[in-house]
Chain A
Amino acid sequence: MLYINCPHCGMRSQNEFSYGGDASVKRPELGKEVSDQEWNNFVYNRKSLRGKHWELWQHLFGCRQWIKVERDTATHEIFSTLKANEEIS
């Protein structure tokens, strides 16, 4: 069982959250000419790191906010959490 520290609500069990995938993926800028390769990288290609991984979660059965979580994909240790609009440093 994971315990995730929601930046809005505090420590909650994983049962309250749903997963949203890799948080480092950035949508190509609006209004800019976008190549097929850039779209592929955004839509399909993932690093799927073993180790520290920034990812999106939604506190679905809580405040319903999207948050960013830094978690180890091998040990499941959670290092830090951020609000969705806070940049990963």
Chain B
Amino acid sequence: MQKYSVFSLVKNALSNHENWDLAWKDPTPKKEYDVVIIGGGGHGLATAYYLAKEHNINNVAIIEKGWIGGGNVGRNTTIIRSNYMHDDNALFSEFGMDLWRRMSQDLNYNVMFSPRGIINLAHSDAQMNIYARRGNSMRLNGIDAVLLNREEVKEIIPMADFSENVRFPIFGGLMQPSAGTARHDAVAWGYARQADDMGVDIIQNCEVIGFDVSAGKINGVRTSRGDIKAKKIGLCVAGSTNILAEKLNMTLPIETHLLQACVSEPVKPVLDKVVTFGAGHFYISQSDKGEMVMGGDLDGYNSYAQRGNLPTLQHVLTEGIAMMPFLSKLKMLRTWGGIMDMSMDGSPIIDKTHIEGLYLNCGWCYGGFKATPASGWTFAHTIAQDRVHELNAGYSLNRFNTGHLLDEKGLGTKTWIS
């Protein structure tokens, strides 16, 4: 594999960039693999990468219905954080933060990880108390958290609405200084390039039609490009989880919902943090190109549409303008939507299933992108060792049976409420 560096850049500039190697191949599927990963998104690509790198399992295929990086890894708002209160979520995400910090070096691909910090705004005394509690829990787990008062928040984001007679005055906020953003496409491409180099077959335009299950064991998968045998199959298909689960006669604690995001026209640098509105569901950051990147509520009803409705967008942007009034002057450049695998307690599932050799990775809700490396790492471990790692032990499928829910936001099973 060609190593990317300033020298290779200069060298290839001299030949008009016409001699770069392809970053990954376009192989024909083999008849059999040791492991097949279904879903060529961030999580699937990361899983294949860590299977090869950490567990020396190289005879791996990723099969993807569309093209790699075309789903949620290319549709998110690129936020990376570990500001969780519950131990299972916090330790898992913080493990991921470590992988994020090293990712560009590990993958020899600039994922433009920018640890600029995230601020969750508080709009009441009660919310300040809750944030103090969450911040303390984070610090006990070794995660950086700073509780900010109103003046300190004003110092950092003076463009927010600090006037007197607003509906949701800013009382303060909780900041995780080490949180940030990364270039989402680069994450998919970086993992794909390294996985391909270690022998993983990335098979695109290959749809799963069915599964070969006998005597409680998985034997392979039937695809639009022929049958593929594998003793171990990992499902990493986010919003399409229920569609594949139906083919396996499984009913899961997952509903598929649509989440929208949008960017404004580019403007000069104004915001160097990720900021979330505490009185509703709205978050914002500024991209390197200057666009304001914004997102918020689910559309509110089960959807596989991959495009959103205008009432929700209007509602989300109304919250944005309440938080930062200058946004009302900006024109929208693009809006888009992706389908989320909303789990019934808001936390993901990385686990074995009742079918031997079938592994499940789903339920990422709003937080799939930041989890990409930790999800891939723990899922690879779960597949390779046929047992969960302590980092994903809390993300069991069985927790819905036993009542050990990880309800970080305390919303219960109504996933469409935000």
B302 touches A44 (CB 8 A): no
A47 touches B246 (CB 8 A): yes
CA distance A18 to B315 in the complex (A): 14
Q: What B residues does A8 contact at CB under 8 A?
A: none
B253 touches A53 (CB 8 A): no
- What total of A-B pairs shows CB separation below 8 Å? 70
A47 touches B304 (CB 8 A): no
Q: What A residues does B246 contact at CB under 8 A?
A: 47
B401 touches A47 (CB 8 A): no
Q: What A residues does B254 contact at CB under 8 A?
A: 46, 48
B210, chain A: closest CB distance, angstroms: 16
Q: Quick one: which of B242, B305, B414 contacts A48, CB cutoff 8 A?
A: B242
Q: What A residues does B302 contact at CB under 8 A?
A: 21-22, 48-49, 53, 55, 73
A87 interface contact, C-beta 8 A: no
A1 interface contact, C-beta 8 A: yes
A19 touches B413 (CB 8 A): no
CA distance A43 to B415 in the complex (A): 12
A89 interface contact, C-beta 8 A: no
A36 touches B401 (CB 8 A): yes
B303 interface contact, C-beta 8 A: yes
B249, chain A: closest CB distance, angstroms: 11
B256 interface contact, C-beta 8 A: yes
Interface residue ranges of A36-55 to B (CB < 8 Å): 36-37, 40-41, 43-50, 53, 55
CA distance A37 to B310 in the complex (A): 39
Q: What B residues does A55 contact at CB under 8 A?
A: 301-302
CA distance A9 to B142 in the complex (A): 56
Knowing A1-B309, A1-B310, A1-B311 touch, does A46 contact B243 (C-beta < 8 A)?
A: no
Q: What A residues does B256 contact at CB under 8 A?
A: 48, 50, 73
A37, chain B: closest CB distance, angstroms: 8
B242 touches A21 (CB 8 A): no
A47 touches B242 (CB 8 A): yes
Q: Quick one: which of A15, A40, A50 contacts B311, CB cutoff 8 A?
A: A15
Q: Which residue of A lies closest to B254 (CB)?
A: A48
Knowing A15-B311, A74-B305 touch, does A45 contact B251 (C-beta < 8 A)?
A: yes
Q: What A residues does B252 contact at CB under 8 A?
A: 45-46
Q: What B residues does A22 contact at CB under 8 A?
A: 255, 302
A64 interface contact, C-beta 8 A: no
A46 touches B305 (CB 8 A): no
Q: Which residue of B lies closest to A46 (CB)?
A: B255
A76 interface contact, C-beta 8 A: yes
A22, chain B: closest CB distance, angstroms: 8
Q: What A residues does B309 contact at CB under 8 A?
A: 1-2, 14
A85 interface contact, C-beta 8 A: no
Chain B 237-252 near chain A by CB (<8 Å), digits 1 or 0 = 0000011001000011
A73 touches B251 (CB 8 A): no
B400 interface contact, C-beta 8 A: yes
Chain B 403-418 near chain A by CB (<8 Å), digits 1 or 0 = 0000000000110100
B300 interface contact, C-beta 8 A: yes
A50 touches B242 (CB 8 A): yes
A45 touches B305 (CB 8 A): no
Q: What A residues does B242 contact at CB under 8 A?
A: 46-50
Interface residue ranges of A60-81 to B (CB < 8 Å): 71, 73-76
CA distance A21 to B256 in the complex (A): 11
Q: What A residues does B304 contact at CB under 8 A?
A: 50, 73-74
Knowing A43-B413, A48-B242, A50-B242 touch, does A14 contact B311 (C-beta < 8 A)?
A: yes
B301 touches A44 (CB 8 A): no
A17, chain B: closest CB distance, angstroms: 9
Q: Which residue of A lies closest to B301 (CB)?
A: A19
Q: Quick one: which of B310, B400, B414 contacts A40, CB cutoff 8 A?
A: B400
Task: Name the 4 nearest CB pairs between A and B, nearest first.
Answer: A44-B253, A48-B242, A45-B251, A44-B344
Q: Identify the A interface with B (CB < 8 A).
A: 1-2, 14-15, 18-19, 21-22, 36-37, 40-41, 43-50, 53, 55, 71, 73-76
Q: Identify the B interface with A (CB < 8 A).
A: 242-243, 246, 251-256, 300-305, 309-311, 344, 400-401, 413-414, 416
